[in-house]
């Protein structure tokens, strides 16, 4: 059976509805690499929010622009600080962004924030409001917080529109339409995603594993992310190995395929949810991406 667009795999999910991430109920994320990264890896372009030398940059956009039309693999290291800018990444080179951190295996000790406060209505489109608008293939980001501080409607923290893109130990924060999984193969691991409405959406094939979601509480809402294509209902969101899966009452559908496997906790019982049945096996990255599925950083 061919996979529809807008397919998300949610693996080992910790979901918080109306509680902050410091509530004490969060399970510890598995740490795949307990190493610090506080200095730039060899041959990386260096960015500092202040005190940059003549060979360094003060903005991520300037560093990205310096790559030009090169197709040689490149990396950019961002020193600790807050970068107030909107960034478009459209390069031909495979590119890796590294944020300074004392724990590369988690988002919790990230010290690099890229942020803006532009809403989609004012910007003219979802992509244009994005704090980071990724339009490149073969991209990876480690230990960076992507933030859109606009709170009156749609405002994207990250638009991911590229094939074979990975995000490791990152966080994504906004109010509405936080993470735009627009197109391509994507991998998100040990990440944090925050919003109130439609905070994960798009047409991409994304594997989202070992992550935390925080939904801002609203009295009129009980939901997971929006998971259907714009104007269509063809997406699928399998949830597996989660200890905080889903609301136990009422109708809750994520898509057309069977979409739960070996979840635990109060939301794991599917008997009270029409059209939401258990799968007989775990879905795999090869199911999602086919034979060429080993492109991601497997250490995460």
Active site residues: 198
| Cα dist from 197 to 115, 152, 200, 217, 247, whole Å | 19, 11, 9, 10, 16
Structure tokens at 182: 């627009």
- Give the C-alpha separation, 215 to 48, whole Å: 32
The strand pair at 95-99 and 139-142 is best described as parallel
Q: CB of 189 within 8 A of CB of 211?
A: yes
Q: CB of 17 within 8 A of CB of 222?
A: yes
């Amino acid at each position: 059976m061919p996979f529809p667009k807008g397919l998300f795999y949610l693996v080992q999910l910790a979901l918080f509805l109306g509680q902050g991430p410091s509530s004490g109920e969060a399970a510890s994320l598995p740490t795949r690499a307990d190493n610090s990264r506080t200095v730039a890896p060899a041959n990386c372009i260096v960015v500092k929010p202040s005190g940059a030398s003549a060979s360094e940059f003060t903005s991520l956009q300037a560093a990205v622009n310096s790559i030009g039309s090169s197709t040689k693999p490149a990396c950019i290291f961002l020193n600790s600080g807050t970068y107030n800018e909107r960034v478009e990444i459209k390069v031909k080179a495979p590119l890796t962004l590294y944020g300074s951190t004392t724990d590369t295996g988690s988002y919790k000790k990230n010290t690099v924030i890229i942020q803006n406060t532009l809403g989609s209505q004012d910007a003219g489109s979802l992509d244009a409001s994005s704090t980071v608008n990724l339009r490149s293939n073969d991209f990876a980001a480690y230990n960076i917080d992507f933030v859109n501080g606009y709170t009156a409607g749609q405002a994207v923290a990250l638009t991911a529109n590229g094939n074979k893109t990975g995000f490791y130990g990152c966080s994504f924060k906004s109010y509405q339409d936080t993470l735009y999984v627009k197109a391509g193969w994507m991998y998100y691991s040990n990440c944090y995603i925050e919003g109130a409405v439609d905070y994960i959406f798009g047409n991409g094939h994304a594997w989202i594993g070992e992550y935390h979601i925080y939904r801002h509480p609203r009295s009129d809402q009980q939901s997971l992310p929006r998971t259907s294509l714009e104007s269509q209902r063809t997406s699928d969101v399998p949830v597996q190995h989660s200890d905080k899966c889903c609301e136990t009452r009422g109708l809750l559908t994520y898509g057309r395929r069977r979409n739960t496997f070996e979840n635990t906790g109060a939301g794991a019982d599917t008997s009270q949810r029409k059209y939401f049945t258990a799968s007989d096996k775990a879905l795999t990255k090869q199911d999602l991406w086919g034979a060429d599925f080993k492109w991601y950083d497997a250490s995460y």
